[in-house]
Amino acid sequence: MAIRNHIITLKKGEQVFEAGDEADCAYIVELGIVGLYSKHFKDSRIASLGRGELLGEMGVINNEARTVSAFAETDIELLVIDKEQITKRLQNSDPIIRGVMDLLLRRIRNLLNNDAYKGLVMDDENIVVTEGVHKIRFEKELFQAFDDNEIINVYQPIVNLKDGSIAGFEALSRWQHPEKGMVSPFEFITLAEESDFIIPMGLKIFDSACKQLTVFQQIRNKSNPLLPALFMSINVSAAQLKAKSFLDEIKKITKKYHIDPNDIKIEITESQVVDYKKVLTWIDECNAFGFKLSLDDFGTGYSGFLHLLELDFHTIKIDQAFIKSIDTKPKSMVILEVIADMAKRLDMTVIAEGIEDKNSADKLTQIGVDYGQGYYFFKPMKVEKLLTILR
Ligand code: C2E
Ligand code: CA
Ligand code: CA
């Protein structure tokens, strides 16, 4: 995929594309005015597009030549949208939507080729697809941020509740945006999951988490050689599990850094393994290699117990919701006790996340939860800060 935050500039009067050209990309107008012209209307202007508007998408969507010609009416700046940014989404969309889209485009093409309908076509009124344009721009920014190393990992320590020592970390990704500050993974991971971009991004996240673990482990070996090796929990989403090469790649990364796969926990969110049959082989292969699998957000999905029955997870990560309500809902303590007891009998490890106060930490320790994670102990931190804590 040719991924570049690609802005092109054209002088007034220059041509963007010509009717009949191959449609290899689309554009968003960033600056100035672009005029669209059709031969069939005696070369008259059928639309003029300003900032934030999309052009050249038609040919890209149904893989046909340009129907109209586009010229810079003023000096202009255009953001180039890769064909795959659009086609990938269409491939993933509902077949009915795809069908309707195809039909509409054919109708528009027919209109553009028919003089009699000139009055009906666009004129100076443009279809503004603001939300889609915003998303595509944000996606372009994300591609660039990735190339510029603005996507980084922060690490949140996970504490052994029995003795209070740091047992491991969860790698959480952040986008250090030059203007917006830290962008939440909820925003950009979801976006990356919509395209294949989650694959290269996920591998880079995995790679830097592994590299970091070797540093953390070295420090621990010097300062506290008797404690068990530190582990690293890394989030992996369903879109990554589906990619054939992903598992091979993460095995390679683990070997490259000479990391014991037992020290890597792969966190998969419960709601994403709804179709357990699809992830069964993946999970078996992970276990065979030595990775430990952790069922994230336990208790929030549709079939948590079915997952435990059918898939070999090593760790249960109890969702924050149960921990947050320890003081307000008596039921939550019962649920937590049952999960802790069940995990012990299934020979599984339990991590409780979202622990924000001493009272919750104490109660979770009493009922035998192995590990705790939350603001009460540590917030997610940048590496520099963590290194001083570890030392
Ligand atoms: P998650 O895996 O459930 O991660 C735990 C979230 O809870 C993190 O949010 C963490 O900062 C937050 N948290 C930790 N302790 C506390 C606490 O005491 N109180 C409260 N209120 N929150 C706490 P974050 O970092 O914003 O991540 C959000 C989600 O984004 C993650 O939820 C995970 O699903 C996803 N995510 C983050 N990094 C990655 C990644 O590298 N790859 C993938 N696929 N997903 C990621
Ligand atoms: Ca997680
Ligand atoms: Ca979680």
Nearest atom of ligand 1 to the alpha carbon of 173: 38
Q: Indicate the length of the chain as a whole number.
A: 391
- One domain, residues 210 and 131: no
Is residue 144 situated within a structural domain?
no
Q: Which residues line ligand 1 (CB under 6 A)?
A: 156, 172-173, 184-186, 189, 205, 235-237, 267, 269, 296-297, 353-356, 373-375, 380
Is residue 22 situated within a structural domain?
yes
Distance, CA of 237 to CA of 199 (rounded, Å): 10
Burial bucket for residue 100 (CB in 10 Å: 0-12, 13-18, 19+): exposed
- One domain, residues 183 and 311: yes
How far does the centroid of ligand 2 lie from the alpha carbon of residue 234, in Å?
Answer: 7
Of residues 260 and 114, more confidence is placed in 260
Most ligand 1 atoms within 8 A of CB, residue of 142, 172, 241 to mutate = 172
Domain that holds residue 133: 2-138
How far does the centroid of ligand 3 lie from the alpha carbon of residue 354, in Å?
Answer: 8
Distance, CA of 22 to CA of 133 (rounded, Å): 22
- One domain, residues 128 and 153: no
Distance, CA of 306 to CA of 276 (rounded, Å): 8
How far does the centroid of ligand 2 lie from the alpha carbon of residue 330, in Å?
Answer: 26
- pLDDT on residue 2: 32
How far does the centroid of ligand 2 lie from the alpha carbon of residue 294, in Å?
Answer: 9
Task: With a cut of 70, say whether residue 119 has pLDDT above it.
Answer: no
- One domain, residues 69 and 202: no
pLDDT tens track for 135-177? 888 898 999 999 999 999 999 999 999 999 999 999 999 999 9
- One domain, residues 280 and 134: no
> Could you tell me the CATH number of the domain that includes residue 19?
2.60.120.10
- pLDDT on residue 201: 96
Beta strands in 179-326 (DSSP E): 181-183, 231-235, 264-269, 292-298, 315-318
Distance, CA of 12 to CA of 228 (rounded, Å): 67
Confidence of residue 120 (pLDDT cuts 50, 70, 90): very low
Is residue 43 situated within a structural domain?
yes
- pLDDT on residue 3: 36
Task: With a cut of 80, say whether residue 113 has pLDDT above it.
Answer: no
Is residue 143 situated within a structural domain?
no
Of residues 121 and 175, more confidence is placed in 175
Name which of 45, 49, 44, 57 is nearest 74 in CA terms.
49
- One domain, residues 192 and 219: yes
> Which residue owns the Cα nearest ligand 1 atom 25?
172
- One domain, residues 112 and 254: no
**292 and 262 in contact (C-beta within 8 Å)?**
yes
pLDDT tens track for 273-298? 767 777 889 999 999 999 999 999 99
Nearest atom of ligand 1 to the alpha carbon of 237: 44
pLDDT tens track for 305-363? 888 888 999 999 999 999 999 999 999 999 999 999 999 999 999 999 999 999 999 99
Is residue 174 situated within a structural domain?
yes
Name which of 212, 202, 207 is nearest 237 in CA terms.
202
> Which residue owns the Cα nearest ligand 1 atom 10?
380
Domain endpoint, select from 98, 114, 138: 138
Strands 15-17 and 69-72: antiparallel
Domain endpoint, select from 116, 138, 160: 138
- One domain, residues 71 and 166: no
Number of domains in the chain: 2
Look at the alpha carbons of 237, 240, 241, 246 in this order and tell me if their dihedral is positive or negative: negative
Is residue 67 situated within a structural domain?
yes
**20 and 39 in contact (C-beta within 8 Å)?**
no
How far does the centroid of ligand 1 lie from the alpha carbon of residue 135, in Å?
Answer: 22
Starting from the CA of residue 267, give the closest ligand.
2
**128 and 52 in contact (C-beta within 8 Å)?**
yes
Domain endpoint, select from 103, 138, 173: 138
Which tokens sit at 223? 């300062």
> Which residue owns the Cα nearest ligand 1 atom 13?
354
- One domain, residues 291 and 381: yes
**242 and 268 in contact (C-beta within 8 Å)?**
no
> Could you tell me the CATH number of the domain that includes residue 322?
3.20.20.450
**70 and 36 in contact (C-beta within 8 Å)?**
yes
- One domain, residues 340 and 262: yes
Confidence of residue 110 (pLDDT cuts 50, 70, 90): confident
Most ligand 1 atoms within 8 A of CB, residue of 183, 235, 315 to mutate = 235
- pLDDT on residue 134: 81
Q: In the predicted model, what is the mean pLDDT of the chain?
A: 89
pLDDT tens track for 21-78? 999 999 999 999 999 998 766 668 888 999 988 999 888 887 889 989 999 999 999 9
- One domain, residues 234 and 338: yes
- One domain, residues 204 and 325: yes
